[in-house]
Structure 1
Amino acid sequence: MYGHLALASSVLLAVLTQHANAVDKTRDPSLDTNLATAATQLDRLALLGNDDAWLFDFTAQEPNYNFAPGGVVNMNAATFPAAKGNGMTMAMLNLGPCSMLPPHYHPRASNYVVAIHGNTTTYMYEENGARLVTETLTPGMATIFPQASMHMMVNNGCENAQLVSALNSDDAGTQNIGNVFSNGFPAELVNAAFGQDLASSDVASKMTPVGTGSNWGLSECLKQCGIQANGTYIRF
């Protein structure tokens, strides 16, 4: 019973007070365009003419690389031009103590996730009529979120959790479920769809500003770990 209540509470918290996953900004639009239109692979290699063009440092991607509450760092066509046309995104998922990735889905990619540090519970719901799939990931364990499936992740402990994610698109996209309350849909229609008053015309102004992909989770966990939701910046 407690597990179901905790899940319901965490979903409600995520939907109503979530940080929207930050949108990746294209680092070098002209280079991406040239890579996309290059006639041969040798032409592509000429455009990526120095070794630095082939190296991506996840830990240097601030503010997304953090553990308070955490963040998602994507190595994809937008952030790393060498990835353009290779059909894959690699992501590092950092979850500080008690933090979570709110419910979301990737419209253009399946998502393989493996745990590196910590203890993380994942929840996945693929479509209407499907069952909820719940997994606990400890180091070396992995799961899959099929393309466009709704999923979320929660750090269960008082230590940092870190996971690595592989998506089979260099432009996977991310859609947070809570965006339905702030994306411009008429509030009265959203409320009618949910059968209760969850949205208002000014809900966008009340939402937490766009963050780095992660937000604090259950207040009970934060209290148990002695953490306030303004924790210091932590690194491994």
Structure 2
Amino acid sequence: MHPPHTASSPETRRSHGPLRLAGALAVCSALLLVTVATAWHPLMSVDGSVARTTHRWAVDEPALTRTFRILSDWVWDPQTMRLLCAVVVAWLVLRRAALWTAVWLVATVALTTAVQQGVKAAVGRRRPHWPDPVDSAHYAAYPSGHAMTATVVCGLLLWLLYRWGAARTLFRALAAVAAVSVVGVGLTRVWLGVHWGTDVLGGWLLGALVVALAVAAHRRWLPDPPRRKPDATR
């Protein structure tokens, strides 16, 4: 393990940006958590209105709903995201110089699951209930595990790509795929009637908070690899 850097080192200074972002995300997450846990009426009213509208659309558009079920339950499912992480971890382990990054990635994804389940148990929010459901889900509603896991996995992998100097075109293409995945999984969870809108927002905020803290920790404890010089094709 690399020793901690001094307070004035470049690695420490580079961790300040993610820590400031983490502070802002923590405040937003806490405020949303309190309003959901206390069932603040204006917010619950908006949640209910959005849920009723999207559920009506889901019932009226069965073909689109089936497509969203495939995307939500298979393509963007937390297990799929964890499997993607496992593939990246295996690649990092094979690159022996990146062993600690592999450990960091596993620990962050495991922490995400623990935080997600802990908040679900603490808040104990019920999921939307419909007489004509189009999908089903288990455990408490807040936060959305799909939204939080997708945010963490896509965020961490994108940051690793950037850190290791991925070609500009490749990075932009994968960033677009990641953005569609993170936004898409949240919207499909609401469409399928298994989450309130604020569940998804909470998952996004908590996921982004985990990513910011993980990036700050990585910059603080692990040295940056040598970056390749950009060329004309990048």
* More strand as a share of residues: 1
Common fold: TM-score over 0.5: no
* More helix as a share of residues: 2
Relative contact order (C-alpha < 8 Å, sep 6+): which is higher?
2
